[in-house]
């Protein structure tokens, strides 16, 4: 019994703040995709999600007037992850969506995804294709992709690209348009993922996904985010 309680003692806590001003966002809705766990921020932007097992989670935040944003967060047994999460404000949401009929932030992301897919650079996996494979994590999706190698040891895998100018090198990660290399992992559950872009080298990668010194490939993950 004590061992079970210790395994569930991890948690994620922090503040949801405005990306531009740094001010706290009240009543933001927090969800861990693929779980039933939910939370909401208080007047100071604080929230807490507790009683977690070790693993990798996708934390998603929603607030009126802001783009829904997701972060990949690895959590160890007994660890309390604490940080500030920034939401980008949406300018003139009512006019853009209701009056002018423009696509929502999420719809535009998916249109851009389909445009890049038509250009046939890299490997693309849609939500329908993910479901068709019966994949549980990104390990299942990435296994067998040409130019991608899963290097696994003691049950933990990293993703390496084999077509880079540097030879074999570790892939960078982007989640919902934001760099996530420090937290990206192929053990991420596929629940909530609506699109994956796999670029096996810097030359194959669109400029918006490259870091300043990128010489390897990039894995781009899109989740069910958007107003």
For residue range 1-17, what is the model confidence (pLDDT) as tens digits?
444 444 457 999 999 99
CATH number of domain containing 72: 2.60.40.1120
What pLDDT is attached to residue 128? 93
Same domain, yes or no, for 16 and 85? yes
The contacts of residue 191 (CB under 8 Å, 6+ apart) are 33, 34, 58
Q: pTM above 0.85?
A: no
Q: How many domains does the chain have?
A: 2
Same domain, yes or no, for 65 and 114? no
Quote the mean pLDDT of the chain: 84
Q: What's the sign of the alpha-carbon dihedral 92, 94, 97, 99?
A: negative
Of the candidates 36, 44, 47, 43, the one whose C-alpha atom is nearest the C-alpha of residue 12 is: 47
Calpha distance 196→115 (Å, rounded): 13
What pLDDT is attached to residue 30? 92
Calpha distance 189→179 (Å, rounded): 18
Same domain, yes or no, for 111 and 16? no
What pLDDT is attached to residue 35? 79
Of the candidates 51, 90, 101, 46, the one whose C-alpha atom is nearest the C-alpha of residue 68 is: 90
The verdict on residue 70 lying in a domain is yes
The verdict on residue 7 lying in a domain is yes
How is residue 159 written in tokens? Answer: 């993703």
3-state SS of the chain is: CHHHHHHCCEEEEEEEEECCCCCECCCCEEEECCCCCEEECCCCCEEEEEEECCEEEEEEEECCCECCEEEEEEECCCCEEEEEEEECECCCHHHHHHHCCCCCHHHHHHHHHHHHHHCCCCEEEEHHHHHHHCCCEHHHHHCCCCCEEEEEECCEEEEEEEEECCEEEECEEEECCEECCCCCCCCCECCCEEEEEEECCCCCCCHHHCCCCCCCCEEEEEECCCC
The verdict on residue 150 lying in a domain is yes
Calpha distance 23→45 (Å, rounded): 8
Same domain, yes or no, for 78 and 166? no
For residue range 13-39, what is the model confidence (pLDDT) as tens digits?
999 999 999 999 999 999 888 778 899
Structural domain containing residue 68: 2-89
- Choose the final residue of a domain: 30, 62, 89: 89
What pLDDT is attached to residue 8? 52
């Amino acid at each position: 019994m004590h061992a079970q309680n210790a395994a569930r003692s991890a948690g994620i806590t922090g503040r949801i703040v405005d990306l531009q001003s740094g001010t706290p966002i009240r009543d933001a809705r927090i969800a861990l995709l693929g779980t039933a766990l939910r939370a909401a921020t208080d007047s100071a932007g604080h929230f807490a999600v507790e009683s977690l097992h070790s693993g990798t989670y996708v934390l998603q935040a929603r607030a009126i007037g802001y783009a829904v944003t997701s972060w990949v967060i690895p959590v160890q047994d007994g660890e309390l992850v604490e940080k500030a999460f920034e939401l980008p404000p949406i300018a003139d949401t009512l006019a853009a969506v209701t009056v002018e009929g423009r696509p929502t932030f999420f719809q535009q992301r998916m249109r851009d995804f389909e445009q890049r897919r038509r250009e046939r650079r890299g490997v693309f996996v849609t939500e329908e294709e993910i479901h068709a494979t019966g994949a549980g994590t990104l390990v299942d999706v990435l296994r067998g992709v040409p130019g991608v190698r899963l290097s696994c040891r003691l049950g933990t895998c990293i993703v390496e690209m084999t077509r880079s100018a540097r030879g074999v090198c570790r892939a960078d990660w982007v989640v919902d348009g934001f760099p996530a290399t420090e937290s990206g992992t192929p053990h991420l559950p596929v629940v909530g993922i609506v699109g994956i872009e796999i670029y096996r080298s810097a030359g194959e990668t669109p400029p918006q996904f490259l870091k300043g010194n990128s010489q390897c490939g990039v894995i781009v993950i899109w989740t069910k985010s958007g107003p």
